[in-house]
Amino acid sequence: MREAIYALWKRLAGRFTGHRKHGTPPDQAKRSRVVRERMRQVILSIPHYFRELGRIRKPSELYGWVYFKFPNSFPLAGFPPYLSVDVTNKCNFSCKHCWRTARPRPVGSMDVGLFEKIVREVNLHRSFHRAFKLASGGEPALHPHFRELMEISARYEMPTLVYTNGTLLQSFSHREILNWRLDTVVVSVDGVDADSYERFKTGGNYASLRRAVMDFYQCRRTLGCRTPVVEIRHVIVASETVTQLLQFRRVWLETADTVKFNYLEPATGLYDFEDPSRPKCRAIRREMGIWWDGTVPLCSGYRHEHLGNVRRSTISELWRHPKIEYMRQCHDRRDFAQVPVCLRCRKCN
């Protein structure tokens, strides 16, 4: 039975790897390519989604999971369910497909006091909040006071996810990381083998990364800890086949709990075509980003316009800021002409 399910899963994923038919209009072909890439990512990540569901213990957690997947089917949450905090945008890698290259910003690290201010407000909205992510702008473990940030997170019992290129596991002892009571450690592993990994992630070493993940995973199991979940995150590129991706998943599940796939987004944040038939945006109803200096961008797809700064405003105020509320209303009406940047956005096309 398992073999039959696996074969069907592989066949479904393989259906979304084809190329444009001859004679298809260029923009339509580009839209079709994006749809194929996203469908392949979703299908390959199905086991990961089942694992997420398996960790749910309360009705409120189930509601939060479904809301995150389908936020346009529910009333807007009173507080961002997912908060992505860019504690630093310093990075020791230079990944070819990273948006940091195309959209450079001043480099810096978040003040410890500002981080605690954010955590305190999130703690007041537990009924809405589902995940506190340290991600998006760089390698969080390079923050000069990262240990202090983690102690604050642990003190408030934040459901924290740390995204890392592996530096976290190589910079701190495994027992110390376990004492921080993180929810998930997400390790970015792009490329399907050592050669492709080191081509994509300049500055990375595949063998040392795999050894670090394996050692941490074994330490957690030896000590009988259930968390943090060790998640491998992989960005699919066009040249990777379904067979390679499934083999990648098998290899990394030897040293991790789960593997999730993402599609490759344009580094600029925008596609080179418009799509008037695009779906309503999910990001503007489910997540908010905060940069290291406290700046809150309009949305995760378009970072050139800002809502304000959490040094001077609360997260709740910015979540209901007139700019983002207007954008939500336009999406509800599917009046994308009023927000033309959304027609090319990487998040929803």
Q: What H or E segment, with its residue span, contains residue 188?
A: strand 184-188
| HSE of 45, CA atoms in CB hemisphere, 13 A | 19
Digit-coded pLDDT (tens) for 93-132 = 877 777 666 666 788 999 999 999 999 999 988 776 678 8
Residues 156-163 have a mean pLDDT of 91
**Residue 95: DSSP 8-state:** E
Cβ atoms 236, 189 nearer than 8 A: no
Give 339 or 122, the one with higher predicted confidence. Answer: 122
Q: Where are the beta strands (DSSP E) in 272-347?
A: 287-290, 295-297, 306-309
Percent of the chain having pLDDT more than 90?
47
Whole-number pLDDT of residue 171: 93
pTM attached to this predicted model: 0.86
CA dihedral 216, 100, 183, 87 (to 10 degrees): 110
Phi first, then psi: what are they for 93, rounded to 5°? -115, 165
Whole-number pLDDT of residue 79: 93
Digit-coded pLDDT (tens) for 186-212 = 999 988 899 988 888 877 889 999 999
Q: Of 126, 204, 119, 128, whose CA–CA distance to 169 is shortest?
A: 204
Digit-coded pLDDT (tens) for 74-91 = 999 999 999 999 999 888
Digit-coded pLDDT (tens) for 217-274 = 999 999 999 999 999 999 888 788 889 999 999 999 999 999 999 877 655 555 545 5
Whole-number pLDDT of residue 27: 58
